Amino acid sequence: MIGRLNHVAIAVPDLEAAAAQYRCTLGAEVGPAQDEPEHGVTVIFITLPNTKIELLHPLGAESPIGAFLAKNPAGGIHHICYEVEDILAARDRLKASGARVLGTGEPRIGAHGKPVLFLHPKDFNGCLVELEQA
């Protein structure tokens, strides 16, 4: 059901410093910052030959990333994102198997302009999983 790894998301306390580290120290291709108000984050994507890294920073006081950084002040891996061909079919199959879909269960548009869903980390070995329709 899952396809390729789309990205690994890392919550960071200082978005510009993290972007500079990937750009200058690691020599990576770093995209521009983009606000995602529906998700409460500002993101920057780092393009790698085989996947992407998504740097996440809180956008507003109610951001879930703010709560994550309160528990992990230095930042850390927040979630992994897998591609799926049909997000609704994937959701229905996962729910039928007992997996919990976060929120309303309806896909929202993510940072790539495609439908996304998040799966409860307790159902996936402590890892928050994002599914993105390919």
The rounded distance, in Å, linking the Cα atoms of 91 and 106 is 9
Q: Is 130 a catalytic residue?
A: yes
Task: Name which of 66, 64, 65, 30 is nearest 46 in CA terms.
Answer: 30
Secondary-structure breakdown of the chain: helix, strand, coil percentages, each rounded to the nearest 5: 25, 40, 35
Catalytic residue among 54, 83, 130, 132: 130
Q: Largest Cα–Cα distance of the chain, in whole Å?
A: 46
Helix, strand, or coil here: 110?
A: coil
The rounded distance, in Å, linking the Cα atoms of 129 and 112 is 16
- Positions annotated as catalytic residues are 130
